[in-house]
Chain A
Amino acid sequence: MKHTISVLLQNKPGVLSRVTGLFSGRGFNIESLSVAETLDVGVSCLTLVTRGPDEIIEQITKQLHKLIDVIKVVDVGDSEFVEREMALIRVKAESHTRAEVLRIIDIFRGKVVDVSPKSYAVEITGPRSKIKAVIDILKPIGIQEIVRTGTIAMARAKKS
């Protein structure tokens, strides 16, 4: 089972390596990881995507919580949530494919962020599945380079 876990931690040197060390040391896997400061510069938010049976996920959240610098651990998937990932994709765009690439990007509501005579660099944002769909469809045209951010996630607000 895929789980998206959101961790609030103190923004101090070495904290990230406490988290990643925990995963490597205990043989947990990390599919993606993304971290940046929150409104409070003393606090960072780390979002990580991992996979495993329920008892492993339980251990992961408990072990994360045990780290002294960790403030809060939430398995975002316990409630409704939105997730986003961004990818920058440099795709081959020669005279006969340029228009097609633009059409595809448009369908996925992507943006061209860099242009050269033979390629476009495009920015795509969305859930993991959407990024995958774009990649699948651009692949036959020729992807030259990809950089992805890793997933970030947020629980949906209560409706009432």
Chain B
Amino acid sequence: MKMTGAEAIVKCLEEQGVEVIFGFPGGVIIDLFDELEKSSVTNVLVRHEQAAVHAADAYGRVKGEVGVALVTSGPGATNTVTGIASAYCDSIPMVVFTGQVPTGLIGNDAFQEVDIVGITRPCTKHNYLVKDPNELVSIIREAFYIARTGRPGPVLIDLPKDVVISKVNFPEPTPVKMQTYRPTYEPHPGQIAKACKEILKAKRPVLYIGGGVIASDSNEELTELATKLNIPTTMTLMGLGGFPGTHKLSMGMLGMHGTYFANMAVSKCDLLIAVGSRFDDRVTGKIADFAPHAKIIHIDIDPTSISKNVKVDIPIVADCKYALTAMNRWLDVQKDFNGKEQEEKLGPWLDEINDWKRKHPLGYVEEGDIIKPQFVVQKLHEMTNGEAIISTEVGQNQMWAAQFYHFNNPRHFLTSGGLGVMGYGFPAAIGAQMAAPDKTVIDIAGDGSIQMNIQELATSRQYKCPVKIAILNNGYLGMVRQWQELFYDKRYAGTDLSVGPDFVKLAEAYGAVGLRATKVSEVEPVIKEALATDNTVIMDFVIAREEGVYPMVPAGKATTEMLLS
């Protein structure tokens, strides 16, 4: 069957079950937008290509599917780089289509030509320049397959204009099989048994879980293992929601701004069970002092993650879901395993952790009428029953959200974890709202980062997304200011944002709703009104200017060397 390249691309999207994409058109890609308009696929017209990619990222995370973005060549393509790099760091499945000048002009420095395949090579899982129209369909199918399988990630497809308008074949879909790419899903049974035996021997075990638990939808299997064995569990930023945050075994987040008890537990444990996490420097602090007394079991689908930063004793290369299931089944058939004995054995360990919890809980100091950001996040949690989808920007807002919104469910916390992109949260909230129209979606933002993609207010309005933005407004680039306060003698170089927009008027200018709270008593009414409003809302919370995020492990220090206030 012959059809145009554009028709084939749209047909491929439908075949992949794509309902919504995020895009911004341009000269060389008009034909594809033209074709999309006739199809069942909705294009959400963003106002900046970076936002398209973040929105696709969040859409994919919430739905557990591959997010799709579509942009033009040149600047359209380069504007996607930040979003792609973020998705790559966070292992988010995504396919990004970029327009390209006609094949005959490639390499001639044509108008809006850029070598986007070259530029994105280090920040995509794989990428393609389609030169032969007859490879178009198979490349798209392969791209979706690569994006979604193994350790997920973004894949980019560069589409020269002549390929989009030429006649192409549309072969019947067959299962994608690749000679060179075969991720390992099933764990090695010997390793599973070895790991389980080690876990049963441990007196002070800790589960340290990351984004892999969410990506593989294995939160239930993880919870089963943790509760069956009574193992205290800590989450990375990307792992929040992988284990219920309000569970008695939860220790919250670990690492630079992790809880006192999570960091203490890791430093004192005799066995660390890492599941879908990658020993990032923000988690480990000074590597030599990380979990110094522990044997380490590491489950990850990506072999390169294993023994990259920390030497692992029992590696298990597998999909977390398969590995955790195998461990649960292994334990089920152990005749001499007794849940009660296990609980008693770990009793002293849990007592010690609970002691730390009592001594140094997460907290903050109230200061009369002045709004504390932590209080705002607590109120948001309370007033949404902990069930909202929360996206964040990057910096203090992100850490307060991670600390004080206790996520019980996976795919409810959207943040740019690895790359740390300011400007991620708002477009992500739009993507999330498109994926889950009936959910409350809140972007917890700072006054600095919200301005990095504030133009998306128009997109949010156009597609009737009742996204709520909670700006924790301190007139500073707060996280950098905090470092300057602590390590640079309070020299606030380049962090003063005291001249900012009036966010209420700004919201109104876009036809959204703007609300402001300047004292504690106004917080609840503002949230209440925002949640009741069927429109995009900016809540401008004017907070304590110099509030810091604590605990804090200074960069390069051991995670036990926490500043507590």
Interface residues of A (CB under 8 A from B): 10, 13-14, 17-18, 21-22, 25, 55, 58-59, 62-63, 65-66, 68-71
Contacts and interface: CB of A to CB of B under 8 A. Distances in A.
A21 B122 contact: yes
Interface in B156-183: 178-181
B307 interface: yes
A25 B122 contact: yes
B302 A66 contact: yes
B420 interface: no
A58 B307 contact: yes
A13 B130 CA distance: 11
A59 B311 CA distance: 12
Interface string B272-313: 000000000000000000000000000000111001100100
Contact of B307 (A17, A25, A55, A66): A55
B146 A63 contact: no
A24 B256 CA distance: 29
Given A18-B121, A21-B121, A63-B304, 6 more contacts: A14-B117, A14-B129, A21-B122, A62-B303, A68-B126, A71-B180
B118 interface: yes
Nearest to A72: B180
B204 interface: no
Q: Which 10 A-B pairs have the closest CB atoms?
A: A68-B126, A62-B304, A25-B122, A62-B303, A71-B180, A68-B181, A63-B304, A21-B121, A66-B304, A21-B122
Contacts of B304: 59, 62-63, 66
B20 to A, nearest CB: 27
Contact of A17 (B121, B129, B302, B311): B121
B180 A14 contact: no
A66 B181 CA distance: 8
* Residue of B129, B146, B303 contacting most chain A CB atoms (<10 Å): B303
B481 interface: no
Interface residues on B, range: 10 to 19
Interface of B: 117-118, 121-122, 125-126, 129, 146, 178-181, 302-304, 307-308, 311
Contacts of B178: 68
B125 A68 contact: yes
A58 B307 CA distance: 9
A70 B182 CA distance: 11
Contacts of A10: 180
Nearest to B117: A14
Contact of A65 (B125, B146, B303): B303
Contacts of A62: 303-304
A17 B127 CA distance: 13
- Of B118, B125, B181, B311, most buried by chain A (CB within 10 Å of CB) is B181
A76 B180 CA distance: 20
B305 to A, nearest CB: 9
Given A68-B180, A68-B181, A69-B180, A59 B308 contact: yes
A21 B118 CA distance: 10
A22 B129 CA distance: 19
Contacts of B117: 14
